[in-house]
Structure 1
Amino acid sequence: MKVVILSCHSEFQYAQQAMRLNVQDYLIKDALDPQELARLLSRFKQMMDGERRAGWEHSRMKHLMDGTRELRKEQWFKNFIHQPLLAPDRWRKEAEEYGLLKEGTWCLPVIGFVEDYRQVKYRFASDQTLHFAVGNVLNEVLRESPLPGLHVGYDVRTSLLLFSYRASLKVNIHDEAAACVRMIRDTAMRVLKIPMSFICGSGSRGPAELKQELNELLEGREQRFYLKRGEIAKKAKARPAPKSYESNLFHYYDQACSELRDALLRKDETQLRKLVDGWMEFIRRGKYPAETVKDWTLKLLLDVKLKLHALPRLTPSNSADMLHKEAADLDSLHDLRGWVIAHLESLARAQAASVRPEVTEACNYVALRLGSRITLEEVAAHLHLNPSYFSRLFKKETGLTFIEYVTKQKMERAKELLDGTRFSVGDICEQLGYDNQSYFIKTFKLHTGQTPVGYRG
């Protein structure tokens, strides 16, 4: 039996349930194209006719093989990348089964990164589901691409794309690959609401060259750290570390610490954001080592908290150790910016009123999860509090109900996205965890007095 679900629910949790039940496709009523449905039914018929001709047992075995093929492919490539290449000729013969390095062809590797991983992962039940969803979309785009390509999921945040081509003066492989990568990037954003950025390597004509190129792409953490959201870049040469004191980021540490502390004391969240954006741009121009930037930022955050006497009130999930783990897990300057702003704004709200630490922690929890649906029961469970007690405590300390507070924070984030990005209203609606665009527009108008389109002007 082949199953396709036609639904008015666009939330990923429903599509995810469908995947687990081995549903073949999931269509949204609002975007239904009758021709697409006809093609889908035709494909089902062809599949079932093929199964009937081959026999059910053969079809079942093929299904099991297809299910494990991606895992076998990923492990085979990881072994190739990380283990010594002892038999290049044998490896090339095995690679030909995947369409790579056939006689007379070259291979251009590209590495792709999932951006906003801390936000994205909350929309998926598990890393495994996220990995599966990204792989499905990338494989589907490559099947339709005029340039032969292979997708290999390296890990949940990282994908490898391997394009096969014949070297020719008439064809610019980098332009062709970039066009295909743009299609992949746009499709991942449109279908999964996952932003991705990419680094394109150099062409390789043999296993040894390809192995070296893949290792260099995976080790290019500095370039990856400075990629802009959605950027497609060519692999850059490693820069030597700066030697002069002025080129050391810590030369500017006291200035940054003083500016942020003063803004927090004035309880000025707008100025806080401007300061963070200014320092992030300063860091981008200086191209400081990624680990130095993360160490500098973590020290800055902890020192500001200390000088404002906030450390004694830190909860376990906001402790120095936890902050260190969070910072180490950030892949890009873009992600670092969002992380710093979330923590500073949480601290600003704590400074604005002498609130209970449980409320401070709840505000921090919301700030880090604006991309998902947040319920009072969920946060109460996180704090190990009774929901009714937490609701009364939150209203007493902040003057707002918990739902009013979450809505206010989401609307402020919506204003930032409308001001600073070209995302459509529908995209922003989904990024903030709303599954009903009409409700989102109504809520935004109640909060600002304007519709999202009117606000953007």
Structure 2
Amino acid sequence: MYTVMLVDDDYPVLDLIHYAVDWDSLGLQVIGLHQNGADALAAARQQMPDILVTDIGMPQMDGLELIAQLKQLHPELCVAILSCHDEFDYARKAVKLQVQDYLLKDTLDPSDMTKLLSAFIADLDEKEALRSRQLRMEWLMDRNRSLMKEKFLRMTLEQPLWDADKWQQELEGFGLPLARGTTVIPILGVVDDAKSARLRFQSDEVLRFAVDNVLEETLRDSVVQAVHFPYDAREIVVLAAFQGGLKVNGYEAAAVLLKLLQSAVGSLKLSVSFIMGRSCSDPAGIKAAIAEIKQEAVIRFYRSYGSILTHKAHKGGDYDLFANFGQAGDELRQLILGKRVAELPLVIHSWLEGARQHQVDPAIVRDWVLKVLLDLRLKLQSVLNYRPAAEFDLMPNEALTHDTLIELQEWMIAHCLSIIAADHYAGSTTKRTEIAEACAYVSRHLDRKITLEEVAESLFMNPSYFSRLFKKETGETFIEYVTRMKMHRARELLKGIGTPVGKICETLGYDNQSYFIKLFKSAVGMTPAEYRTQAQ
């Protein structure tokens, strides 16, 4: 809907125009009626109209000055002058200001105003269509350039470097010439908490291009000569160039640049970490250095979110994470049996902290976590009102998807909480196997949006029949049950080690924090912050 501002020091004329024109039928909204140009200008700076209808002779600021000021702020503003003056001089000045029409008050007919406004709307529609086409073309060009850069990076890493000169020419085409005496520092950027980032941006492609555009704009204005290459939705490679050969240490300047990039990405409410590789001065060295930092698993796995790190060779220690496997399993089992929810995050953190301190191979840590969880599930099914999930065999693949120790630790905590939740709810209100399995399904997927249709499909049931059966057996609708379970999990997490409310919101599959807080307050009677304070 386009917006209109009416300006005239003769209020009856304003009132007449306002009520004589059927704005709704035209698809227009009047956002202001002003009796002098100064007031209109101040209002327009807060909300610029698409169409301006103004008188000429007014106190404080006349219509021609108002038009001139607004045209500077919004050159495509549609303007009609409404005046009692029928003099050539005024008309000439109006033409210079690109005023589309000049209407006389004495002979004004509302139908003429309607025709003029319709012409304005057609003009605005045409400009909007043109702007959309231009934006679409720009987006396609940016997307094509991004895909070309990704192809260049993948070919660099995956194919032999047969022609160094051609490679350098392609790099220069992307904005980074390798002149004599140039040193390049390859840098790997990794989006932190990629799972939550994907949920917020709906898809990998949207996430990737959002980050890509922000980095492109920031590097364009940087004093450091650098170019970035997307690898996938969560990884990018930055090449920063410095003059002076290998004698120049560009790491400090690179670190400053990376902080700027982190701040820019932060505008998207995302965090990104960077790992700087060894400096190089030739194509073969650059290729080798990029490969080194991409293959470096230890630094990447143990990083804190928002880190800027330097690559270094990893020397594995002799710490045996599995030496206390039985003790860790027994301790966690007792916590789950006692439903000591608040202690779970602290205990799991303490067991994994040894791995962090000794920089244990990430593959070993993932294996340890997976085996502890599998052992827990098998031993607890005979003690608790709990049965292992149907997708039990998918857990090994899930464990491999976690990029950092932070994510793996949260995944382990979530599984332990799901066991407690499944025992607390599943089967407690029904003897129907289907309902118990549905409750268990919900407890395993509280980290995302759960629909009745997907649960019914997993049980090979008709959604309508499943909905009626669930209400009959539990006394509440499926959606009410899911919300109650999520709020139960939220209370558990709020009693933990200070996880931010926004993070808990994302952990439970909500993309709107205000909505989550409203649901929590409705269920618990207080906000999450108030609940955390009371619990502590």
* TM, length-normalised to structure 1: 0.74
The counterpart of 2:253, out of the listed 176, 197, 208, is 176
Larger Rg: 2
The counterpart of 1:363, out of the listed 422, 431, 443, is 443
- Whether 1:214 and 2:287 are equivalent positions in the alignment is no
In structure 2, distance between residues paired with 1:271 and 1:395: 36
Identity of aligned residues (%): 34
How much has 1:99 moved relative to structure 2? 2.7
Asked if structure 2 preserves the Cα contact closer than 8 Å seen for 1:107 and 1:205, the reply is yes
Per-residue CA deviation, residues 345-374 of structure 1 (Å, 9 max, x unaligned), is 1011123355212211111111x32xxx55
Distance 1:267 1:452, change over 3 A: closer
Number of aligned pairs? 399
- Whether 1:195 and 2:271 are equivalent positions in the alignment is yes
Aligned to 1:419, what secondary structure does the other structure show? Answer: coil
The counterpart of 2:399, out of the listed 327, 332, 337, is 327
Q: Please list, as runs of the form range in 1=range in 2, the aligned pairs for 1:102-251 lying within 5 A after superposition.
A: 102-103=178-179, 104-167=181-244, 173-191=250-268, 193-239=269-315, 241-243=316-318, 247-251=319-323
Gaps of 5+ in 1: 1-31, 44-56
In structure 1, distance between residues paired with 2:368 and 2:489: 29
Asked if structure 1 preserves the Cα contact closer than 8 Å seen for 2:341 and 2:492, the reply is no
How much has 1:409 moved relative to structure 2? 4.7
How much has 1:77 moved relative to structure 2? 1.7
How much has 1:167 moved relative to structure 2? 3.1
Asked if structure 2 preserves the Cα contact closer than 8 Å seen for 1:108 and 1:202, the reply is yes
Residue type of the partner of 2:317?
P
How much has 1:148 moved relative to structure 2? 2.4
In structure 2, distance between residues paired with 1:164 and 1:79: 21
- Whether 1:270 and 2:342 are equivalent positions in the alignment is yes
Q: Please list, as runs of the form range in 1=range in 2, the aligned pairs for 1:63-102 lying within 5 A after superposition.
A: 66-102=142-178
In structure 1, distance between residues paired with 2:503 and 2:378: 38
Distance 1:378 1:416, change over 3 A: farther
- Whether 1:405 and 2:480 are equivalent positions in the alignment is no
Aligned to 2:445, what secondary structure does the other structure show? Answer: helix
The counterpart of 1:415, out of the listed 487, 494, 504, is 494
Gaps of 5+ in 2: 1-44, 49-69, 77-132, 428-435
Per-residue CA deviation, residues 251-306 of structure 1 (Å, 9 max, x unaligned), is 11111111111111112221222211211222211211110111111111100111
Asked if structure 2 preserves the Cα contact closer than 8 Å seen for 1:185 and 1:196, the reply is yes
Asked if structure 2 preserves the Cα contact closer than 8 Å seen for 1:222 and 1:289, the reply is yes
Distance 1:181 1:40, change over 3 A: farther
How much has 1:153 moved relative to structure 2? 0.9
Asked if structure 1 preserves the Cα contact closer than 8 Å seen for 2:342 and 2:493, the reply is no
Per-residue CA deviation, residues 178-223 of structure 1 (Å, 9 max, x unaligned), is 22222322332331x3332221112211111111110101110111
Distance 1:403 1:218, change over 3 A: same
How much has 1:42 moved relative to structure 2? 8.2
In structure 1, distance between residues paired with 2:475 and 2:320: 41
Distance 1:382 1:175, change over 3 A: farther
In structure 1, distance between residues paired with 2:220 and 2:490: 39
How much has 1:339 moved relative to structure 2? 1.0
How much has 1:454 moved relative to structure 2? 6.0
In structure 2, distance between residues paired with 1:236 and 1:344: 35
* TM, length-normalised to structure 2: 0.64
What residue number does 2:387 align with? 313
What residue number does 2:28 align with? none
How much has 1:128 moved relative to structure 2? 2.5
Distance 1:381 1:412, change over 3 A: farther
What residue number does 1:6 align with? none
- Whether 1:291 and 2:370 are equivalent positions in the alignment is no
Aligned to 2:239, what secondary structure does the other structure show? Answer: strand
Q: Which has the higher contact order (CA 8 A, sep 6+)?
A: 1
How much has 1:399 moved relative to structure 2? 7.9
